[in-house]
Amino acid sequence: MTKVLTVDDLEIEFEKQNSEHSCNWCVYIRLRKKDKEQTVLMIRTDNKPYTRFTFNSGNIVNRSNKTLSDILSNTMNNVEELREIKKNLNDEKN
């Protein structure tokens, strides 16, 4: 059975590892409730993590660009900088 937690804040960090590490990716799940903060889960994998952004309308759950925008607007990185990096990567592929 899945454990359901209610928290004040949630942080999910995707960390790419250098080639000397035993895995390619680490994903950290951090929670805050009241004045306590804790890393509750660290996941190591060689496969790039997948993300999915959805919206539950009450009747159906669909993929949602609005949810994606809402999450990206709350990132700890500069979103404009990330867009520029993505643009540069796309230009390199072409």
Alpha-carbon radius of gyration of the chain: 16
Q: What pLDDT digit, counting tens, does each position of 20-67 carry?
A: 999 999 999 999 998 899 999 999 999 999 999 999 999 999 999 999
DSSP string computed for 34-84: TTEEEEEEEEEESSPPP---EEE-SS-EEE-HHHHHHHHTT-SS-HHHHHH
Q: Token pair of 39, please?
A: 């890393």
Q: Can you give the pLDDT at residue 81?
A: 64
Three-state SS for 93? helix
